[in-house]
Structure 1
């Protein structure tokens, strides 16, 4: 990430797998799991909760010893010391091409700097060039914030930064900046002290090839490998990538990158009018002056920015984006920049499927299967006595920390597996890729279902014959109790998906299918309308009016789930959703989170309430987005990326309602185009919107936000999915 300074440019460097902690800090690391089973305490915990309505599960809690943290790799510095009297400075980020550029004039000469990170070549590339000749350029690598400090050396025009997060046992990391100056002998470029590279003045361009790696290996996160997560020293592969890329011309490297990046970005287009002429204004000014009355250009820009960030941080072979994506300048960022999975990790993937980026979610599936499931199977047995399936909780590192931490309100969240299973089903539902489902998706779903089959118990408080979760904590809210509706809704969806996808799963375990079907029929659905008309958060009914908690956990089945939203034609349900949303506030009241507002916007959009959906979206941008477009957790640091991706979910909920279907729904697939498009977006359009079951649709709308024309390509739909019918706001059909 270039900072854009003139004489001394600083480029912040990160690599997704550079973490402290775990087995790279202690050979005894067990992912937070206890040494002996704690499952014997569950019956007593459950009895107390059924008797009193709430209880204490402290006997199941653990700690975060050796949990670790994501950390910055370092800085690449590019000094042009003779720069003064700079004029005409301008910098830009081409979202569609994934290329950063800045340019300025010095003493009549123009200087341009470009940067991009290439997935095809697995390197980052930085170029500084001039339309006449460059002053002397000095290049360095540094990290002044971590301990132990890495070593820096230089040879043959390449600077190497190498380090280890802890002496002897720590994660090994290696970074290399190879400097290429056409016509200059690289053997003479290293400074006398070996700390950097100095390119003499008079060159037309200097190109820096940057490669980095660690010895983290998620495929070693299993019992067979001793949960070591340790791979090979990255030095050789880093040098090999840098050497290969340095043999290519800058134009060839850039061409390969832009072709790869733009093909992904251009799969979806969202166009809004620019009635204010905002495109000609600097982005920082647009965001700093943005108000809750909105600006369509800014809203479409941040939507595109969210897709750019997702493409940049989620590619095959990487880790999924964490709380800060892949961008930090700190050795120990807030919450360790880990994976919180009671909204944040999920929101990071909202909008990906519908905007053509579903294939880019490969890192999430690999993270679940290699980092969660192996250790999570041990956690399931040790904490819950489950002999089948897997479990993890709210806060995870990259080393399989699947046990609870030390506070029930945050830590007691075993339903992470069910929420992520929504994304698993969506991947299959949009792609209809049976091979992927059988090999990757279904094993995740089945392991989730197996765990919950072993944990559901008959409700002994209300004695109504239903099956509930006990104990449970609604995310970061309320007591340890039973029948948290958030859990019940998502487990219902897991079981429903198992049965709906059975014929595609390749599973022949009929006894498992029968048990899922039997327990689904007895499962409390988690849909209870309370005494003041709300969707209850707890079955025991302790919701308070105007409780403005940041989470909307009781509405998960409305959005992003479907156990409630498939009942959108039921006025009692939609009224209860509305009542709950109004009671929950705008998202400013409790910690002022950006993600809280984007979740609210998404819910209002699905409710066809245009004014409230747009109001929450604009409030989030005004309150939480910094001048560089990054979301700030409470409107001020720390940076937390979830709302950047949440913009996609909010906007898509305003553009289309294409719901998941229960197994009982046998009619046509009803797609509502433009359920909540505000008039401020009048005469806009989308192209490439993906549909469940396959196919894409393009459409345009009038100045009131009503869709007036559409074109669908349904040739890619699977033969076993229902026919699609399209509607517009107001309920009238439209031919696409």
Structure 2
């Protein structure tokens, strides 16, 4: 007998709006947007599996007909423990600075190795929860011949679906991660009653056990057991975690045995899964007063009171309400009938597919929704939330010398502003440990973080003093918080969250700066992230003082403080101090060697001219300091990125997915749409995996997010008024975009034909004047609160 929550009465009622029983689409939201990744074969490996996520939990769905795998993640499950790793720089820092400013880099480096090296030097990794395996047949020899196989991910509904037929039976699976109910849902159904027989198992590679907790439920309980590792912190039992899977069936039988649930002769079966840890975000540490198993039980108890159709309906409603805010068309040929992997293959073989670019653009928005929203608290990490490895690449950390920031470039301009909150959450919490780093290591007030952090709030130098000394990580995070305010114009957010972060970051900068031989304020020690320069004597170093990126970040931070401080009525003495420092920073210089933007305080030769980091163009993007109004710097910026690419293409350096994505954004700021499009094509051809994940390599999600931000930047820029179609490629002859967001909290729709602007529609929640630009035309318009404002291709107001 089917359980009461599966009554046909409830299902029939739900069908009136969105569904028929069993979740078959009929109309409305269930139809999604037509934006789908789809394939005619199961995933062969993780890079072909399809992601679902609700901000706190994620799953990768493989779609295998013999043995389905659903790989599971929870945002806070990390190895390691909270430690204070900061070196005491009091004795060492003055002499290190002196040696750097005198040009004695070797001595400065030797002193830094002795005095600034943190302990432990490294962090441990973000880890997976485990895997669900669903076994249908003993082996492939037992499997009847399949037909009509299809697996897909509908971006508009957030549902991964697998379907196939054999022996006259149609089998369907659906997997989605509900933010509303804080669970992952798996549903299996058969077109012929009584034909579902399978075993669902819950497993983890290490540190966990799984047992039945009821006749229809499995409980996983575990604790991360960290073994001794060089420079990676204490060994021992650390974070605790749990997961629960509850199942229900229509027809047949269902029973939990060992680590599995066995279903026999069912018409359909549904499973609700959740996971939790004893992590306490407020403490940036695990908390033994938290019982993960009880946390899971409480979440499931609420979900168990609701039927599948209602949970699915609420999931789609919540998901689509966010996702459907923005639409994009590039007038592309309809290729939705071609599997996604074959479309990508065609592009890799030299063809162009604008529709695939649209799909990737929207995929970036989808992935940010899946890895950065309530019920989640933490921001998207290097892999968003999806990681299969106990020791992930780069520990799947929060990398703060570009990668974490890039994750959030599309949050505001792509109309996903609420997804930025986890970034703010972490930035705010890092102020605590960041004060220790600022004081103990750098002898300054305020707060900062170096080139990475983790769930335990690591802010000390990590991975070595040459590589990891990046005290501008904190100021860059603060700038991202400020830019979020510029987009939203949320005064309460500015006063209560952004301003305390920004002001205290500036306090660190003021205390950290020193005067160089020219009487200018510089940072010391410093580096240009991950890049190496060569001295005339042939010695190679990372450590320096006054790297160009540092100065650009500080310039932007001081500008933000001045604007925010005046808006909030800050003390005029402090404002005057900031203005004085601003005037005494070194200028951005043009290299006499190559006519490029100079990366270091001296015009050094770089060891790797094709390096993936292009940090000295921070002032071009994401900042707005290098613009067409400074023609010499603007041209030097163009030469900088072109030189990087020339050497990388020769093998003297290497491309990464995120670096190419940054290039898309920088070419957009250079107003070069064709170059931006070329870099998009490069990403597709060389740096995109079959499931459209960005390939660093290996997978790293910042490239997906940078890609999405770059497409938006090509269509609309708002750092200096509103600039429509600033970098439209010749290949994008016609199209329209609806729902972009500009700074000032302005919603923007744009349409164009034959490469020419046709119409713009603007809506602002407040009355304000804005300067708008298209081509050589400039115009100031007045937007009235909540009233749509339309202009035609001549930028004349319609009557």
Q: Structure 2 length normalisation: TM-score?
A: 0.83
2:181 paired with 1:125? no
Match of 1:654 in 2: 714
SS at match of 1:708: strand
Distance of 2:420 and 2:602 partners within structure 1: 37
Structure 2 residue 777 is the aligned partner of structure 1 residue 723: no
CA distance in 1, matches of 2:212, 2:318: 33
Which whole-Å deviations, capped at 9, do the CAs of 1:496-528 have from their partners, x for residues lacking one?
10110124446x544433322222222224454
Go from structure 1 to structure 2 and tell me whether the alpha carbon gap of 1:248 and 1:469 turns closer, same or farther (over 3 Å shift): same
1:576-607: CA deviation from partner (whole Å, max 9, x where unpaired): 11111111116554232111111112111111
- Do 1:3 and 1:9's aligned partners in 2 also have CA atoms closer than 8 Å? yes
Q: Structure 1 CA distance, aligned partners of 2:486 and 2:608? A: 37
Checking the alignment, whether the CA contact within 8 Å between 1:171 and 1:216 is kept in structure 2 is yes
Question: After the TM superposition, which of the residue ranges 544-553 and 10-19 deviates more from structure 2?
Answer: 544-553
Distance 1:69 1:406, change over 3 A: closer
Whole-angstrom distance in 2 between the partners of 1:570 and 1:510:
30
Question: What SS is found at the alignment partner of 1:420?
Answer: helix
Residue 389, structure 1, aligned to residue 436, structure 2: no
1:512 corresponding residue in structure 2: 574
Secondary structure of the structure 1 residue equivalent to 2:382: coil
For residue 307 of structure 1, what is the aligned residue in structure 2? 365
1:260 to 313, 318, 328: 318
* d(CA) in 2 for partners of 1:205, 1:618: 43
Map residues 36-47 of structure 1 onto 2, 5 A cutoff: 37-47=88-98
1:734: how far off?
1.8
- Cα distance, 1:14 vs structure 2: 0.6
Counterparts of 2:390 and 2:398 in 1: how far apart (Å)?
Answer: 17
2:432 pairs, out of 361, 374, 388, with 374
Task: Report whether the alignment pairs 1:13 with 2:72.
Answer: yes
**Structure 2 residue aligned with 1:178, among 224, 246, 257?**
246
**What residue is the counterpart of 1:33 in the other structure?**
86
Distance 1:510 1:503 in 2: 8
Residue pair 2:134, 2:201 contacting (<8 A) in 1 also? no
Aligned to 1:664: none
Deviations 1:69-119 (A, max 9, x none): 111111112233375222101111110111111111121121111111000
Q: Is 1:707 equivalent to 2:754 in the alignment?
A: no
Counting only pairs closer than 5 Å after superposition, residues 354-365 of structure 1 correspond to structure 2 as 354-365=413-424
Q: 2:524 aligns with which of 470, 482, 487?
A: 470
Question: 2:612, 2:174 → 1: CA distance?
Answer: 40
Is contact 2:171–2:190 with CA below 8 Å preserved after alignment? yes
Residue-by-residue CA offset, 1:625-663 (whole Å, 9 max, x unaligned):
0111111213xxx21111111111221221122215xxx
Equivalent residue for 1:107, pick from 167, 172, 192: 167
State the match for 1:561 in structure 2: 623
Q: Residue 75 in 1 paired to residue 131 in 2? A: yes
Distance 1:9 1:377 in 2: 48
Native 8 Å contact 1:489 1:525 kept in 2: no
Paired with 1:68 and 1:505, the residues of 2 have a C-alpha distance of 41
CA contact (8 A) 1:418 1:491 kept: yes
Report what 1:196 is aligned to.
260
In structure 2, the CA distance between the partners of 1:254 and 1:708, relative to structure 1 (3 Å rule), is same
| SS of alignment partner, residue 604 of structure 1 | helix
2:704 — aligned with what? 644
Map 1:479-494 onto structure 2 (within 5 A).
479-494=542-557
Please list, as runs of the form range in 1=range in 2, the aligned pairs for 1:604-683 lying within 5 A after superposition: 604-634=667-697, 638-659=698-719, 669=721, 671-683=722-734
Q: Secondary structure at the match of 1:351?
A: helix
**What is the match of residue 353 of structure 1?**
412
CA contact (8 A) 1:434 1:504 kept: no
The CA deviation at 1:545 is 10
State how far apart, in whole Å, the 2-side matches of 1:309 and 1:74 are.
Answer: 20
How many angstroms apart in 1 are the aligned matches of 2:194 and 2:187?
A: 12
Greater shift, 522-531 or 103-112, is seen at 522-531
Task: Check conservation: 1:546, 1:583, Cα contact below 8 A.
Answer: no
Alpha-carbon distance in structure 2 between the residues aligned to 1:430 and 1:340: 24
Per-residue deviation at 1:397?
Answer: 1.6
Instruction: Report if aligned partners of 1:285, 1:627 keep a CA contact under 8 Å in 2.
Output: no
Q: Are 2:493 and 1:436 equivalent residues in the alignment?
A: yes
Q: How does 1:380-459 map to 2 (within 5 A)?
A: 380-386=438-444, 388-459=445-516
- Root mean square deviation of aligned Cα: 2.2
Q: 1:174–1:212: 8 Å Cα contact kept in structure 2?
A: yes
Distance 1:53 1:65 in 2: 25
Q: Is the 8 A contact 1:545 1:583 kept in 2?
A: no
Q: How far does the alpha carbon of each residue in 1:227-284 deviate from its partner, in whole angstroms, 9 at most, with x for none? A: 6666511211211211221221111001111111111111111112332x42111111
* Preserved CA contact (<8 Å) 1:409 1:477: no
Q: Distance in 2 between matches of 1:631 and 1:421?
A: 26
Distance across 1 between alignment mates of 2:504 and 2:99 = 29
- Quick check: 2:126–2:395 contact (8 Å CA) kept in 1? yes
State the alpha-carbon separation in 1 of the partners of residues 221 and 346 from structure 2.
43
* Offset at residue 66 of structure 1 (A): 6.9
Which of these residues, 322, 326, 329, is aligned with residue 381 of structure 2? 322
Is 2:103 the counterpart of 1:52? yes
Answering whether residue 604 of structure 2 is matched by residue 542 of structure 1, we say yes
Q: Which runs of 5+ in 2 are unaligned?
A: 1-59, 227-235, 533-541, 779-792
- CA-to-aligned-CA distance 1:550-578 (integer Å, 9 cap, x gap): 111000010111122xx322322221111
Residue 39 to residue 231, structure 1, CA distance change in 2 (3 Å): farther
Match of 1:235 among 293, 303, 308: 293
The equivalent of 2:214 in structure 1 is: 155
Equivalent residue in structure 2 for 1:273, among 328, 331, 341? 331
Matched, 1:339 2:398: yes
- The one-character-per-residue Cα deviations of 1:424-465 (angstroms, maximum 9, x if unpaired) are 1111101111111111111111111000000111112xx2x3
Residue 205 (1) aligns with residue 268 (2): yes
Query: 1-side partners of 2:552 and 2:289: how far apart?
Result: 40
Residues 157, 197 of structure 1: 8 Å contact kept: yes
CA separation of 1:486 and 1:619: change in aligned 2, threshold 3 A: same
How many Å separate the matches in 2 of 1:353 and 1:53?
44
Deviations 1:311-342 (A, max 9, x none): 00001333111111111111111111111111
Q: Comparing 283-292 with 347-356, which one deviates more in the overlay? A: 283-292
Q: Distance between the aligned counterparts of 1:573 and 1:322, measured in 2?
A: 33
* Alpha-carbon distance in structure 2 between the residues aligned to 1:484 and 1:610: 29
C-alpha distance in structure 2 between counterparts of 1:338 and 1:244, whole Å: 32
Q: Structure 1's 293 and 467: CA in aligned 2 closer, same or farther, altered over 3 A?
A: farther
Which secondary structure does the structure 1 equivalent of 2:127 belong to? coil
Report the more deviating stretch, 651-660 or 130-139: 130-139
Q: How far apart, in 1, do the equivalents of 2:379 and 2:414 lie?
A: 18
User: Is contact 1:322–1:345 with CA below 8 Å preserved after alignment?
Assistant: yes
CA distance in 2, matches of 1:459, 1:139: 69
1:686-701 residue pairs with structure 2 within 5 A? 686-701=737-752
Matched-pair contact (CA < 8 Å) for 2:673–2:728: yes
Q: Matches of 2:363 and 2:470 in 1, distance apart?
A: 31
